[in-house]
Chain A
Amino acid sequence: MNDSQQNIKKNVLEKIRHGDVVMRPKIYFTLQVIVVAVVAVCAFIASVLVVSFAFFSLHESGELLLLGFGVRGLLTFIALFPWVTLLIAVGLVVLLEWLIRYFKFSYRQPILKVFFVAVCVVCVGGLLITFTPLHTNLSDTADRGDLPFIGQLYEDVHMPHEDKGEFRGVVVSVATSTITITHNDHDADADDGTRVVTVPTNFNTSILHIGDRVYVAGDMTNGTVTAYGLSKF
């Protein structure tokens, strides 16, 4: 070692001896790992819940039925898709990936592989949660107005986007080429209403019965909806 390298050793040891440089206790590092792990677990749980909410809202709103209504239905599905929810879920997965790269099992793997595995696990977790009554119970609580902060999210699931050509309701009368539906979003506000729907050509209205819940995609003129897609759900 040359003189300047000897000086490095001398200077560092001097600082250690004088207490200018001190060792951090082991507990500091243990807590650091625990904090990272806890935040990662929270990010994972949040992402699973957000994804499960997206599945729930697509299923509960009937918007998945749009995929069976041809190209126009597909375009409406894309327009109505909960992109914000998806972006939040992706953001949480990215946060999760960033946090777990702190650990050896993660940084030794390619980023895309870890991301893909995380997305799969989150999606499967989200799907499994949709089979539990969690979101249905939360939705009922929101309808009663007893769910603060996130209650509006559940209320919005029940609201049809009539401006984008989406209508939902319960059949109250059936004729040869028209049906009348009434919308009830299960809460006490004043957005309920009745719509007359002209069913698509070749649609057999005899399969519909009073009380059926239907999902309608179409255009509204003068209070009457001309449907290009209609399905029970």
Chain B
Amino acid sequence: MSDSHPPYPTDEELVTRVQHGDQEIFGELMDRYTEKLSRYGRQFLARPEHIEDLVQDVFIKAYQNIQSVDTSRKFSSWIYRIAHNAFVNALRAQQTAPISYFDFDTFTAHPVYEDGHAERKEAEEMRVLVEKGIKKLDQKYREVVMLYYFENMDYQQIADILHVPIGTVGIRLSRAKALLKKELPVDTTHI
């Protein structure tokens, strides 16, 4: 018996159709990413009251620049990159203290130990910790934690979104975990 359902198109297949002029398909991409980008933005910003406007701007920018998408690579990294820049700009406008561009973590090499299996196994525990403590983390740790634990991205994708070396993603993630375990009461770590 053959499968009568058409295969679920990938993001990249949808992008190709938009690039060829099927503008209504862009709505399908928005369906897939509105909730994700809104969630990312809410954790990112100190005052996320205008998150819908920001996400709308992200989609507008995405549509304007969609011809630059290389469909052999992940569309999710590309759109998160746009969202990341938009949220950083919004954060800059909200904060009185300037956001530092200078981060020594991006200057030197850090060994990458991405043990996907082991890390994903502890992901559930970490997700609970992160939900409780994410607002206590610095911006640079918060964004990595969000992308890894809530958006299920790997180091490579996160590096592409933040435009930082892969080793920097690893070091930020491990520091964020250590900070969360240190900051939160002991009983929340026994999950």
Interface residues in chain A, defined as those with a beta carbon under 8 Å from any beta carbon in chain B: 1, 4-5, 7-9, 11-13, 15-17, 21-26, 28-29, 101, 104, 107-113
Q: Which of B63-71, B128-136, B176-184 contacts A (4 or more CB under 8 A)?
A: B63-71
Are A9 and B60 in contact, with the CB atoms below 8 A?
no
- 22 A-B interface contacts by CB (under 8 A): A1-B34, A1-B35, A5-B35, A8-B55, A9-B27, A9-B31, A12-B63, A13-B23, A17-B23, A21-B64, A23-B63, A24-B68, A25-B67, A26-B67, A28-B67, A104-B160, A107-B164, A108-B159, A110-B110, A110-B168, A111-B106, A113-B109
Given contacts A1-B35, A11-B56, A12-B56, contact A107 B64 (CB under 8 A): no
Category for how many chain B residues contact A: 20 to 34
| CA gap between A11 and B63 in the complex, in Å | 13
Are A8 and B23 in contact, with the CB atoms below 8 A?
no
- The secondary structure that dominates the A interface is helix
Are A13 and B27 in contact, with the CB atoms below 8 A?
yes
Are A24 and B65 in contact, with the CB atoms below 8 A?
yes
| CA gap between A4 and B164 in the complex, in Å | 33
Are B108 and A110 in contact, with the CB atoms below 8 A?
yes
- Within 8 Å by CB of B109, from A8, A12, A28, A110, lies A110
Are A16 and B30 in contact, with the CB atoms below 8 A?
no
| CA gap between A5 and B14 in the complex, in Å | 20
Are A101 and B163 in contact, with the CB atoms below 8 A?
yes
| CA gap between A7 and B51 in the complex, in Å | 13
